[in-house]
Amino acid sequence: MPNISMKLLAKELGLSLSTVSKVFTDSHEISEQTKQKVLAMAKQLNYVPNPYASSLRKRKSKTIAVVLPEVADSFFSVAINGIESIAREKGYHVLIYLTHELFDREQAILADFQSGRVDGVLISVSNGTTNDSHINDMMQRGIPVVFFDRVCEETATTRITTNDRESGRLATQHLLENGCKRIAFLTLSESLSISRNRLDGCRQALAAHRLIFQENDLVLCTDKDADNRDIIKRLLQRKDRPDGIIASVEKLTAGVYLACRDLKMVIPKDVKVISFSNQSTAPILNPSLTTITQPAFEMGKAAAAALFNNLKRNNQQYKPETIVVPSVLVPRESTTGVHQG
Amino acid sequence: MPNISMKLLAKELGLSLSTVSKVFTDSHEISEQTKQKVLAMAKQLNYVPNPYASSLRKRKSKTIAVVLPEVADSFFSVAINGIESIAREKGYHVLIYLTHELFDREQAILADFQSGRVDGVLISVSNGTTNDSHINDMMQRGIPVVFFDRVCEETATTRITTNDRESGRLATQHLLENGCKRIAFLTLSESLSISRNRLDGCRQALAAHRLIFQENDLVLCTDKDADNRDIIKRLLQRKDRPDGIIASVEKLTAGVYLACRDLKMVIPKDVKVISFSNQSTAPILNPSLTTITQPAFEMGKAAAAALFNNLKRNNQQYKPETIVVPSVLVPRESTTGVHQG
DNA sequence: AGCTATTTCGCAACCGGTTTCGTAAATAAA
DNA sequence: TTTATTTACGAAACCGGTTGCGAAATAGCT
């Protein structure tokens, strides 16, 4: 049995195809009476209109794409929830794509969107993204793009970020206030906007305390946990070792804890640790982990909401506005030594 | 400027629309020479065929749906990676939908798929799913469905699970071998297949040791962390309190650790803890957490692979096969007291 | 009643590819 | 050279809705 089409529905009702179609677009041309009749029959036959036929004619897909580096990180997991929640509200569908931090894959994914597959794109750029021409191509084709979390700052469109610089500042200040004299900053990338901004904030805070950031305290880690553990161990074995560590991404936390364990160093006595993290296990780590927690769900929602705004006014000119959803610093034992609820 | 269409491309080349189309389907009817010419021009003009026009005519969307309870859990996050990796390999696109554990939302989502939006469905059923008629509807329409992780055992289609029962047995046995006399089993749902199976395994292991499971040692938790903390505290304050706890889902772990902290009970001395979890922080918890780790990535891949198999042979009859990807028990301090790497 | 305005619906073109079929030219077989 | 095949391409129908426009039916008005 072929899926029932609108044509079939029309024949069943003794109406024309166009009349039935107009019922579904809720056209004023159709009387309330026949609308009811059609809707009733549709429900009875379990009819669902073919979205692709509609997309073809209307040149709208009612679909957005979410392009992410990966979903291993708990930030993106939660962000997806936020995105999905408002997409569903608007009756949109969500396609998901992973770049695995590869620039060429990111380009290939966006290139496919030239086809009209999606009406808009939400993107958190990959680690290796060096330019934004693929993004601009999208927008020139009339497909709005909204950045979230990992943004391209030069690109003229809406950006949703958290207050990365401010958070970096706060994290550093928090360490200093808890007695740290020398702070190391762990990062995965020097090019990513969020990393740069967090580091900038760190530098600012140090400067405010008349300290300057030593360049060898900027530690570039890899995406392999085992390597990071070694890298951090070496950091902690230096004679001028830091007494405070900022892990600028969630996945570096484990390396710090394990390195300390290996070296029999005690957090926070020997070294204090603060991490940019959304992990729900932060309170039950030992010691519990002081975190800068990003508002992942809210950022997801804000990003989707902004995209739908840009979708509505379909001019090609989007204002390069940056919406900032602030992170919160949650102090715990790893910096304060103080145990709390 | 309208997006360039195949018709435009054809005109540009002085060829007919159908000829150009046949180039893209790599038809034998077209000479190698003109194929090259068309492809070259297509690349030059940056032409990407409209997927919806193609879907409409071919009655294939090259798209699959992934229906999940939520992505807050790290299991699903990683599973998505597995799914996406093989979908991309096959040239398929991935739509994602969240049920938020609501049965009616799950039904509504699947009902939409009657439209032909997707060629196949990967689903992990919601907590509240009580029957499988919506799944069967899908399959009768010729849309294959593959379960993963949270399956419906009665439904006649492919299922990807981990060895839940065996793992429940192993977890229990592990606790017993480490000296536990009385074991509590924390769960979120009594209806979910995975919970039931894990519990069954637990019962089996106890029986093998000539112990029987006390019904009040089955503790039903909620999805609110604060409540769970209290529930677990009450459990640990009973005079016949357990000396071993199995958390059958990841998100219950925090409750156990916090409850113990509140009561000044020491893991593993006072109570040993094992958790079904994929959290990367397990090794750095204090004490480090013994886990049963599900092979999330492999399950995602297996599920997608199975779906594509069912997609290929497009008969409506799918064999109700269950593919089991085994979990691994990683012993750590929370049960053994022994510190390791 | 006569005439215009409004409501309600059907016809047909259209969205952008896909595919069947027909045909002219090129090649092979007789 | 004639006939049978094969090769290479174009015309047109089609997938399943959407929409502009025209026409019939009804309502409103003098």
pLDDT digits (tens, 9 = 90+) for B323-336: 999 999 999 999 99
Residue of B230, B281, B333, B334 best to disrupt the A interface, most CBs of A under 10 A: B281
Q: For residue B210, how many other CB atoms are within 10 A of its CB? A: 6
In the predicted model, is pLDDT for residue B1 greater than 50?
no
With a CB cutoff of 8 Å and minimum separation 6, the contacts of A164 are A193, A194, A197, A198, A201, A327
Q: Which residue range(s) make up the domain with B187?
A: 164-293
Name the residue facing B77 among A49, A72, A88 (closest C-beta).
Answer: A72
Q: Does one domain contain both A149 and A211?
A: no
Q: Does one domain contain both A172 and A265?
A: yes
Q: What's the Å distance between residue B58 CA and nucleotide C28 C1'? A: 36
Give pLDDT tens digits for A152-209. 988 999 999 999 999 999 999 999 999 999 999 999 988 889 999 999 999 999 999 9
Q: Does one domain contain both A172 and A286?
A: yes
Is there a domain that residue B332 lies in?
A: no
With beta carbons under 8 A apart, name residues in chain B contacting A99.
Answer: none
Is there a domain that residue A271 lies in?
A: yes
Percent of chain B, pLDDT > 90? 88
What is the number of domains present in chain A?
3
B30 touches strand D (CB under 7 A): yes
Residues counted in chain A:
341
Q: Residues of chain A whose pLDDT is less than 70?
A: 1-2, 314-317, 340-341
Q: Does one domain contain both B180 and B273?
A: yes
With beta carbons under 8 A apart, name residues in chain A contacting B77.
Answer: 71-74, 76-77
Q: Does one domain contain both B168 and B110?
A: no
With beta carbons under 8 A apart, name residues in chain B contacting A48.
Answer: 111-112, 114-115
Please work out, in degrees rounded to the nearest 5, the angle formed at the alpha carbon of residue B218 by the alpha carbons of B212 and B219: 160
Of A154, A191, A148, nearest to A307 by C-alpha is A148
Is there a domain that residue A340 lies in?
A: no
Q: For residue B221, how many other CB atoms are within 10 A of its CB? A: 22
Nearest protein residue to the C1' atom of C7, measured from CA? A29
Pairwise CB contact (< 8 Å): A77 & B71: yes
Residue A62 has what pLDDT? 97
Which domain CATH number covers A81?
A: 3.40.50.2300
Is there a domain that residue A338 lies in?
A: no
B39 touches strand D (CB under 7 A): no
Q: Does one domain contain both B78 and B121?
A: yes
Which domain CATH number covers A12?
A: 1.10.260
Determine the average pLDDT of the residues in B180-203.
94
Is there a domain that residue A227 lies in?
A: yes
Asked whether the bond before B268 is cis by omega within 30 degrees of 0, the reply is: yes
With beta carbons under 8 A apart, name residues in chain A contacting B93.
Answer: 95, 117
In B280-319, the residues whose Cβ lies within 8 Å of chain A are: 280-281, 283-287
Name the residue facing B254 among A112, A253, A280 (closest C-beta).
Answer: A280
Q: Does one domain contain both B156 and B138?
A: yes
Residue A318 has what pLDDT? 77
Q: Does one domain contain both A229 and A278?
A: yes
If pLDDT is split at 50, 70 and 90, which confidence band does B127 have?
confident
Long-range CB pairs of A18-25 (<8 Å, 24+ gap) are: A24/A49
Residue A73 has what pLDDT? 77
- B41 contacts B31 by C-beta, under 8 angstroms: no
Residue A148 β-bridge partners: A160
Describe the strand order of the beta sheet including A328-330 as a list of residue ranges. Answer: A218-220, A183-187, A244-247, A272-276, A290-293, A328-330
Q: Does one domain contain both B62 and B12?
A: no
Q: Does one domain contain both A27 and A174?
A: no
- CA A170, CA A19: separation in Å to the nearest integer? 62
Residue A275 β-bridge partners: A247, A291
Residue A129 has what pLDDT? 86
Residue of B43, B77, B94 best to disrupt the A interface, most CBs of A under 10 A: B77
Q: Does one domain contain both B139 and B184?
A: no
Question: Which pair of structure tokens corresponds to residue B229?
Answer: 């903390």
If pLDDT is split at 50, 70 and 90, which confidence band does B318 have?
confident
Give pLDDT tens digits for B212-242. 899 999 999 998 999 999 999 999 999 999 9
Q: Does one domain contain both A289 and A261?
A: yes
- A61 contacts A119 by C-beta, under 8 angstroms: yes
